[in-house]
Amino acid sequence: MSATLYQQIQQFYDASSGLWEQIWGEHMHHGYYGADGTQKKDRRQAQIDLIEEILKWIGVQQAENILDVGCGIGGSSLFLAEKFHASATGITLSPVQAARATERSQKLGLSDRTDFQVADAQAMPFADNSFDLVWSLESGEHMPDKTKFMRECYRVLKPGGTLIMVTWCHRPLDTPLTNDEQKHLQEIYRVYCLPYVISLPEYEAIARLVGWQNIRTADWSRAVAPFWDVVIDSAITPGAIWGLLFSGWSTIQAALSLGLMRRGYESGLIRFGLLSGNK
């Protein structure tokens, strides 16, 4: 990962994670609003429901040693460690996030079986065959080399273990992206510190190249699209506006650009893709 991109991602999450937690809680990812996106529910419950629905989809009912790639402040890591009575390791580029995740694990009494580190997902500091579940929830979009990332996930997973990657994608390339679509994506990349995104079929092709077995994919765009309306509503509360004033320009810019993602889902350009496989 280039030093510049690494720093941009780190600084973005160092600056924004505290405000996100204050307004939204520990889960820094989409919510699930039913398969067709019509269910009305509490926003934090929707985020927990997304985790549960992903677990149902991949059929994982138990795990002993979990790696959470792009762990944020430990939302998924701690949830999964508690649910499965498992050990969980989370990695992030943000020292602020790693420290907060560690603090939260101590408060929850899970520090003896959780560990949070600052590490590059494309060069993980773990031995081969270390984990039986690799969990990547909305971190793949930050990876500048998607193939290298998926190879690293493969390397650290135990034989027979499971990968679940849930990531932002663009639409399949049945027809080339238009100039307007490319401009729309470039704005999203700039605001959210992304190198680029690819389509779900492209991810599947990479997974086959790397050697994953039992590959499955799904597009849950409709199920999660309402999330951005809820985020936009929450961003215009007095508490959120006050917090933004002290969170730095990158966070303010991201808040002002929330409509980019909403419009991307509405047009079909942005997709929410799932991919699972076994080693």
Task: For residue 258, name the pLDDT band (cuts at 50, 70, 90).
Answer: confident
Q: What is the 3 state secondary structure string of the chain? A: CCHHHHHHHHHHHHHHHHHHHHHHCCCCCCCCCCCCCCCCCCHHHHHHHHHHHHHHHHCCCCCCEEEEECCCCCHHHHHHHHHHCCEEEEEECCHHHHHHHHHHHHHCCCHHHEEEEECCCCCCCCCCCCEEEEEEECCHHHCCCHHHHHHHHHHHEEEEEEEEEEEEEECCCCCCCCHHHHHHHHHHHHHHCCCCCCEHHHHHHHHHHHCCEEEEEEECHHHHCCHHHHHHHHHCCHHHHHHHHCCCHHHHHHHHCHHHHHHHHHHCCEEEEEEEEEC
Q: Per-residue confidence at 17, pLDDT binned at 50, 70, 90?
A: confident
pLDDT of residue 231: 78
Residue 269: band (very low, low, confident or very high) from pLDDT cuts 50, 70, 90: very high
pLDDT at 97: 96
Determine the structural domain holding residue 112 and report its residue range. Answer: 3-278
What is the number of structural domains in the chain?
Answer: 1
Give the CATH number, domain containing residue 182.
3.40.50.150
